[in-house]
């Protein structure tokens, strides 16, 4: 299995809702990532988990809350989002160490719309 699976593919939520994005991989990767991508822009790193521990938080607002329940799963909990948070959210994974730590496999993304 060489895939990263993201659910849901599309999500529409109001500013007072609480929702979650989910990501799963079964490649034995020990690093997992959340990226945010606005239209016509490159992906921007949000969070990195390495060996189930949060290793990088790119100063992301607290209305985004990541969670890594185990080495195969990564969640992004969303609460009190703003319309400007509407974007494609990409999950990725990589090996935990060595050269492979920089070779990311991306999921297809979750398209989020905040009304």
Partner 1 sequence: AQSVTQPDIHITVSEGASLELRCNYSYGATPYLFWYVQSPGQGLQLLLKYFSGDTLVQGIKGFEAEFKRSQSSFNLRKPSVHWSDAAEYFCAVAPWGGGNKLTFGTGTQLKVEL
Nearest residue to 92 (alpha-carbon basis) of 41, 61, 46 = 46
Instruction: Figure out which of the listed residues 1, 16, 42, 59 binds partner 1, where binding follows CB under 8 A.
Output: 42
Nearest residue to 56 (alpha-carbon basis) of 78, 35, 29, 86 = 35
> Could you tell me the smallest distance in angstroms from the CB atom of residue 65 to partner 1?
20
> Could you tell me the smallest distance in angstroms from the CB atom of residue 56 to partner 1?
7
Interacting stretch for partner 1, rule CB under 8 A, among 13-21, 44-52, 60-68, 77-85? Answer: 44-52
Nearest residue to 21 (alpha-carbon basis) of 85, 74, 71, 93 = 74
Which positions touch partner 1 (CB under 8 A)? Answer: 4, 6, 31, 33, 40-43, 45, 48, 50, 55-56, 88, 90, 92, 94, 97-99, 101-109, 111
């Amino acid at each position: 299995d060489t895939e990263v699976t993201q659910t849901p593919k599309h999500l529409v939520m109001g500013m007072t809702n609480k929702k979650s994005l989910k990501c799963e991989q079964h490649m034995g990767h020990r690093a997992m990532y959340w990226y945010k991508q606005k239209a016509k822009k490159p992906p921007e790193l949000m969070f990195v988990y390495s060996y189930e521990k949060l290793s990088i938080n790119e100063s992301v607002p607290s209305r985004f809350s990541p969670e890594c329940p185990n080495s195969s799963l990564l969640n992004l909990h969303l609460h009190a989002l703003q319309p400007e948070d509407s974007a494609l959210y990409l999950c990725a994974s990589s090996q935990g160490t060595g050269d492979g730590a920089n070779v990311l496999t991306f999921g297809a993304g979750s398209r989020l719309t905040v009304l």
